[in-house]
Structure 1
Amino acid sequence: MTDLLSRLLDERRWLLADGATGTNLYNMGLAPGDVPDLWCETHPDRVLDLHCQMIQAGADVILTNSFGANASRLRLAHAETRVAQINHAAARIAREAADKAGRPVIVAGSIGPTGQIMAPVGHLTEAEATRLFTEQALALKDGGADILWIETVSAIEEMRAASRAAEAAGLPWCGMMSFESGGRSMMGVSPPQLAKLIDRLPCSPVAYGANCGTGPAELLLAVAGFAAAGCERPLIAKPNAGVPRYQDGGLVYDATPEVMAEFAVLARDLGVRIIGGCCGTTPAHLSAMRAALQDRPPGPRPSSDAISSRIELLMNR
């Protein structure tokens, strides 16, 4: 059977992925330094509410609140023995929101990086990373996730480990790296290198791309680099809503809904199939993105200069 993501990609030119999880939960009362993933057990009603807000804003794909719910990261909160319970709860909550949406909404099991540096630079082996990701993946599948969503990865070895975890869980998956302002990931991987890796993975993803990073313009420039490698899988673009700054004791991101709407249109015209937002992206941003994608007709493929100038113009208003 064709998975729901592949079916919807066959039917539609673009899909809208949701916005931020962690930064929105902070706005809902999560204290600085607290672990967002644990709210799946302690505040499931608020996590459910956030998913419902994203769906109401137009999301076709919602990410489970499990980005940091691997044993390596949960160890910092003394919760490493509760990986299965937390991930199962995260998927179950998102599944509840999706099932009452009244339209197809994909539940994507969010898996972030381990928080460790991969060997040989660091000490984490590919086999151990695979084990950590597989533990998460199996629980997310059991809780009702449609796909796995591997994001903010910086190393090729970690992406390979994630692909093996998806294969072990028997779920389709999407894979994203995060690129710095210099156009490479923290571990030095370039967009063309990621594109060339995708079809050589043990289990290839349905779609791949970039998330997080320094802002919408920089991320789109990274995504444009994927085309140079010739990989024709659907692309994903999910940038932060600009750059954060401290204001009134909290973080505020400087990209307005208007800026993110412009990003969404540029991404669509660049050929991106799954468009969303990462840190700082609220339901208000997402609603503006959906409206722009629906109301503004497709345009020509934007150049790098056009991407930078159109985003910069709105950022400086």
Structure 2
Amino acid sequence: MIIDSRPGAALSHCRTRGLQTPDPLSQLLARRDWLMADGATGTNLFNMGLTPNEAPELWNSRHPDRVRRLYRDAVDSGADLFLTNTFGGNASRLGLRKAADQVRDLNRAGAALAREVADAAGRKVIVAGNIGPTGEIMAPVGSLSHARAVEMFHEQADALKEGGADVLWVETIGCDREFRAAAEAARLADMPWCGMMSFDTAGRTIMGVTSAQLSALVERLPNPPVAYGANCGVGAADLLRTVRDFVASGNERPIIAKGNAGVPRLEGGHLHYDGTPAIMADYACLARDSGVRIIGGCCGTTPAHLRAMREALESRAPGPRPSLEEIAERLGGFSSLGDGF
């Protein structure tokens, strides 16, 4: 089924979870031309004192007030949608910290804290239950079976649902098989979901998937995502070049862009991103004018970036679809000569 991305169309097309009414994200998309998502989780938690050897998800139980602050900062900066602090909350990744037995508790807690903040916002704000990659390589290249991947994603999805997430937010996926496993887990959890891949190798994911292949994949799934797109990668310019390919696919499904705040550089043992709030404001408007419906930031994106993005989206009139030359000029150029080859 093809979902029309025009405002209002989601109400007539979406029947996620077998209900007679659309899910909360589709409802909001039906009323708005664009939505703003949040910024970085890791960057902002590091700024609050998270250390490199800590799993961010453990803060959901150890430092709930700091996690609430992360969420509130996003809402106060204008986000219509924010992610739970659960990106690495699957059994494989938490197992590296000897916390695999805490998957349900940590994901449920992360979503419950988010639900609390969203409900107190005074406006409609979507809680997106964040699910990142397992950290393992899928068979036949690696040893992770489809069944085990589905099992891990499903455990996480159920806990996020219990905690009050409105939608599952699957991101930074590099493998089409892992994307399929996450989609199956969302179906088993009876939850609407969004899916993103990270295109960081000349327009391909780490496992070689192109933007065109992702656009085709989402339409073949038995439970396609509410929206799909790209996050992270090597910079905002490259991400928008990938977005142009999604638009060109013609599938009309709402598109997500969640680009990094520039390119990182190592200074004094810490990563710093060169994307200023002004640059991210340009990125947000270029994304909107490219046809993106959900616009946010990834690594390096702070509340200051989000405030600039929101102000620009609200104050600058929509323009024509930007060319690659305009994107490169305003955002600092591309990291490779081509996208997907």
TM bucket (normalised to shorter chain) is: over 0.9
The reply on whether 1:44 has 2:64 as its aligned counterpart is: yes
1:160–1:202 contact (8 Å) kept in structure 2: no
Amino acid at match of 1:68: G
Which of residues 154, 159, 170 is equivalent to 2:190? 170
Per-residue CA shift, 1:188-234, capped at 9, x if unaligned? 00000000000111310000000000110000001111123222100
1:151 is paired with a residue whose SS is: strand
What is the match of residue 161 of structure 2? 141
The reply on whether 1:58 has 2:106 as its aligned counterpart is: no
Which of residues 143, 153, 172 is equivalent to 1:123? 143
- Between the aligned partners of 1:168 and 1:121, the Cα distance in structure 2 is 26
Amino acid at match of 1:64: T
Per-residue CA shift, 1:277-317, capped at 9, x if unaligned? 0111000000000000000000000111111111128xxxx
Q: 1:246, CA displacement in angstroms?
A: 2.2
What is the match of residue 88 of structure 1? 108
The reply on whether 1:194 has 2:236 as its aligned counterpart is: no
- Between the aligned partners of 2:155 and 2:300, the Cα distance in structure 1 is 29
1:290 is paired with a residue whose SS is: helix
Q: 1:236, CA displacement in angstroms?
A: 0.1
Which of residues 280, 285, 288 is equivalent to 2:305? 285
What is the match of residue 302 of structure 1? 322
2:247–2:291 contact (8 Å) kept in structure 1: no
Q: 1:96, CA displacement in angstroms?
A: 0.8
Question: What pairs up with 1:1-317 in 2 under 5 angstroms?
Answer: 1-312=21-332
2:169–2:195 contact (8 Å) kept in structure 1: yes
Q: 1:181, CA displacement in angstroms?
A: 4.0
Amino acid at match of 2:38: D
What is the match of residue 12 of structure 2? none
Amino acid at match of 1:105: V
- Between the aligned partners of 2:196 and 2:115, the Cα distance in structure 1 is 22
2:289–2:322 contact (8 Å) kept in structure 1: yes
1:181–1:218 contact (8 Å) kept in structure 2: no
Question: How many residue pairs align between the two structures?
Answer: 313
Per-residue CA shift, 1:87-136, capped at 9, x if unaligned? 00000011111011000000000000000011111111111111100000
Per-residue CA shift, 1:160-179, capped at 9, x if unaligned? 11111111111110000000
1:194 is paired with a residue whose SS is: helix
- Between the aligned partners of 1:11 and 1:175, the Cα distance in structure 2 is 21
- Between the aligned partners of 2:146 and 2:243, the Cα distance in structure 1 is 26
1:77 is paired with a residue whose SS is: coil
2:87–2:130 contact (8 Å) kept in structure 1: yes
1:237 is paired with a residue whose SS is: strand
- Between the aligned partners of 2:261 and 2:190, the Cα distance in structure 1 is 33
Amino acid at match of 2:70: L
Q: 1:72, CA displacement in angstroms?
A: 0.5
1:68–1:113 contact (8 Å) kept in structure 2: yes
2:233–2:239 contact (8 Å) kept in structure 1: yes
- Between the aligned partners of 2:207 and 2:269, the Cα distance in structure 1 is 32
Provide structure 1 residue ranges, at least 5 long, that are not aligned to the other structure. Answer: none
What is the match of residue 8 of structure 2? none
1:108 is paired with a residue whose SS is: strand
TM-score by length of 2: 0.90
2:284–2:309 contact (8 Å) kept in structure 1: yes
Provide the identity percentage: 61
